[in-house]
Amino acid sequence: MSFPIRQLEAFRAVALKGSITRAAEEMAISQPAVSRLLSALSSSVEFELFQRVSGRLVPTREAEFLLREVERVLDNLGRIGQLTHDLSTRKAGHLRIACLPGFATSHLPKVLADFLSGRPNVTAVLEPDRPERILEWIIGEQYDCGITDEFAGHPTAESTTILMRTVCILPPGHPLAAKAEIWPADLARERIIHTRRDSGFYQRLSEAFALRNLRLGSHVETRQFTAACMLVAAGAGVSVVSEMDAREYEHRGLVIRPFRPDVPHRLSLLRPANARASLLALEFLDTFEKSLEPFRFR
């Protein structure tokens, strides 16, 4: 058996104002309305709520105790109104993002931080993980959105694939820096740093070499473009990576040149296929996609 909210509101208003008339003003309703609400509450409670002392209504000790609980309830209830509004305008909620480890340390955190800064009631989890796990957890709805690359497609995961420009990166002072653009032939004798041989990007890159009867050499193999950037910056060799990552490391002296022919990197934004995807996730993915614009291949 619970109490009508209206009675609790009247109780709070009267306790606050010390008078039924003023409580009525506070609640913007008539005095008899409050009078009756309070007497209804009063008669369903086994103790006195107020005591008259020189024309003021003073809560009894029991009422004082009750008041604290009542205020908690009413405050929380009031906050629900705000919350629903925040939820519908994507200003509140929780976002679970999965990404490849390489993304967790470069572009993505900046975009996420910016996204959150205007949404104080949004919390987020950013989880770096292996591609297979990302897909798996997106399907199982453990994550609201996932960022991976070279995604093959899956029936229960919605995906948007974005082609990202790639560039050739050279260590500071490398002779090839003299060229305006780099072709496979230029790299035939270089120490190549590249992504895993089973990655889609590696395969398409080596295909570009094969078409010209060249072989893509191998000096260091690494999963992440970011690692490749570090290695090149340290003079370990040359590489072809996403321009987005390259720009992050440009300040370390990396030389960036266009690579021809274009072998774009295929980035995929995932979310659970069913409609349960949160508005927030959609908005974030949208924001993220826009942030990729400068590095996008057309």
Partner DNA sequence: GAAAAAACATAACACTGAGTTATGAAATTG
Partner DNA sequence: CAATTTCATAACTCAGTGTTATGTTTTTTC
Query: Least distance from C-beta 6 to its own copies, angstroms?
Result: 10
Pairing of strands 92-99, 145-149: parallel
Q: Which is nearer to its own copies, 52 or 251 (CB)?
A: 52
Judged by CB under 8 A, the number of residues near its own copies is 45
Stretch that binds DNA, among 14-22, 164-172, 211-219, 255-263 (CB under 7 A): 14-22
Nearest to 125 by CA among 146, 98, 147: 98
Query: Could you say which residues in the range 43-72 bind DNA, by CB under 7 A?
Result: 52, 54-55, 57
Can you tell me which of 39, 142, 160, 199 binds DNA, judged by CB under 7 A? Answer: 39
Q: How far apart are CA 145 and CA 165, in angstroms?
A: 23
Q: How far apart are CA 147 and CA 268, in angstroms?
A: 6
Q: Which residues contact 278 (CB under 8 A, 6 or more apart)?
A: 93, 95, 144
226 makes contact, choosing from its own copies, DNA, none, with CB < 5 to 8 Å by partner type, with: none
Query: Could you say which residues in the range 213-242 bind DNA, by CB under 7 A?
Result: none
Can you tell me which of 14, 93, 209, 255 binds its own copies, judged by CB under 8 A? Answer: 93
Give yes or no for residue 85 binding its own copies (CB under 8 A).
yes
Enclosing H/E stretch for 15 = helix 5-17
Query: Least distance from C-beta 46 to DNA, angstroms?
Result: 17
Q: Which is nearer to its own copies, 56 or 130 (CB)?
A: 56
Supply the DSSP symbol for 179.
Answer: S
Stretch that binds its own copies, among 62-70, 148-156, 171-179, 217-225 (CB under 8 A): 62-70
Stretch that binds DNA, among 23-31, 68-76, 107-115, 284-292 (CB under 7 A): 23-31
Angle, alpha carbons 234-196-229 (nearest 5°): 25
Can you tell me which of 16, 33, 73, 256 binds its own copies, judged by CB under 8 A? Answer: 73
Can you tell me which of 21, 32, 56, 88 binds its own copies, judged by CB under 8 A? Answer: 88
Can you tell me which of 15, 37, 70, 100 binds its own copies, judged by CB under 8 A? Answer: 70
278 makes contact, choosing from its own copies, DNA, none, with CB < 5 to 8 Å by partner type, with: its own copies
Can you tell me which of 33, 111, 256, 277 binds its own copies, judged by CB under 8 A? Answer: 277
Give yes or no for residue 83 binding its own copies (CB under 8 A).
yes
Distance between first and last Cα of the chain = 65
By residue count, the chain amounts to: 298
Query: Least distance from C-beta 70 to DNA, angstroms?
Result: 14
Pairing of strands 92-99, 121-128: parallel
Query: Least distance from C-beta 50 to DNA, angstroms?
Result: 9
Longest dimension (CA), the chain: 103
Query: Least distance from C-beta 88 to DNA, angstroms?
Result: 19
Tell me whether residue 34 is exposed, middle or buried, using C-beta atoms within 10 angstroms of its C-beta: 0 to 12, 13 to 18, 19 or more.
buried
Radius of gyration of the chain (CA): 31
Phi-psi category of residue 97: left, alpha or beta, with phi > 0 → left and psi -120 to 50 → alpha:
beta
Q: How far apart are CA 69 and CA 67, in angstroms?
A: 5
83 makes contact, choosing from DNA, its own copies, none, with CB < 5 to 8 Å by partner type, with: its own copies
At 196, the amino acid letter reads: R
